[in-house]
């Protein structure tokens, strides 16, 4: 886990017992959504680098224009297919999409979504669960003294 991820997790509120129970109930679906969104962002990064190299190749005359056009169509269609599936990532509880933002009228996922935009079902991380367990242990120790 990176330091930035750890710090952002620490700023999030400690999950309640109800949130943990809901997460455990929908854990497989939520984990699949997170994995797919992470993979989509990696694909978009590779797509950007490929376009940069493609532009340099065309400008330098290293790539034939017909080959370049065919390659561009293939890579662009792959990007549309992969990111299009990202919009199918729906909350397992209410079947509505996770957080999105609009840019030029296009729905763009806001990174790895950590909660549903509508019913607020949270996709908890391991650090969230550890903080919940630590809080439960503290409460148990307080009640026993």
DSSP 50-82: HHHHHHHHHHHT-S-HHHHHHHHHHHHHHHHHH
Give domain limits for the chain.
16-144
pLDDT single digits (tens) 16-71: 888 888 877 777 777 777 777 677 777 778 778 877 877 787 777 777 777 777 87
- 114 contacts: CB under 8 Å, gap ≥ 6: 12, 99, 122, 123, 125
Averaged pLDDT, 110-128: 69
pLDDT over 80 at 95, yes or no = no
Of all residues in the chain, the percent with pLDDT exceeding 90 is 0
pLDDT of residue 121: 78
Alpha-carbon distance of 131 to 16, in angstroms, equals 10
């Amino acid at each position: 886990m990176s330091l930035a991820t750890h710090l952002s997790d620490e700023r999030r509120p400690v999950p309640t017992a109800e949130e943990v129970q809901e997460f455990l109930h929908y854990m497989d679906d939520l984990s699949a959504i997170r994995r797919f969104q992470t993979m989509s962002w990696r694909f978009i990064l590779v797509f950007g680098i490929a376009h940069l190299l493609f532009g340099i190749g065309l400008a330098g005359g290293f790539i034939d224009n017909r080959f370049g056009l065919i390659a561009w169509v293939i890579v662009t269609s792959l990007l549309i297919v992969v990111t299009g599936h990202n919009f199918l990532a729906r909350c397992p509880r209410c079947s509505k999409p996770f957080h999105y933002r609009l840019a030029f009228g296009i729905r763009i996922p806001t990174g790895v979504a950590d909660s549903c935009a509508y019913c607020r079902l949270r996709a908890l991380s391991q650090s969230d669960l550890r903080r919940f367990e630590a809080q439960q242990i503290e409460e148990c120790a307080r009640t026993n003294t």
